[in-house]
Structure formats: C-alpha cells, structure tokens
Amino acid sequence: MATKFALHLAFMTDQNKKVRISIPSPKQPVEASAVDAAVQMIVSKGIFAMPQGKIVSALPAEQTQTDTSSVS
C-alpha cells in the first residue's frame, strides 16, 4: 500500500482572490515552523507572480495524504 503526501500553501492576493501552491511529496515530517517561514518569505519577497494578483497574505497551509494502492 503506497501513500502519497502533498503540501498545499494558500494565499490571498491584492485582488481578494485565493491562490494555492501545491508541493507534491514534501520531505517528511513536515515541520510547521519551516512551512510558516516559507510562506512568510513568499509573501514578503513577492516571489511568485500570479494571474490572480500579487500575494499579500498567507492562509493556513494543509497537508493531504492519499492512498494509492491498486485494487486487484
């Protein structure tokens, strides 16, 4: 049974739109302090240009887990 993880970073833009950056297979365990530092840097440095506008604030990040086992 294989399990896949993804980390989803969510942000608000200056156009009041929600955007999400997904990171497949993040290194485990994911440390909340490292995620917080990364999202704050993304906001403060304006690292990503989004069609929905400039990122102005961070929303809570989430990690998802998916079971990828095949049924025989």
Tell me the pLDDT tens digit for each residue of 27-51.
999 999 999 999 999 999 998 889 9
* Backbone dihedral angles phi then psi of residue 37, each to the nearest 5 degrees: -65, -40
Predicted model pTM: 0.85
- Average pLDDT of the chain? 92
Q: What is the pLDDT of residue 68?
A: 80
Sign, Cα dihedral of 42, 21, 49, 12: negative
CB 23 within 8 A of CB 6: yes
Q: Give residue 71's pLDDT band: very low, low, confident or very high (50, 70, 90).
A: low
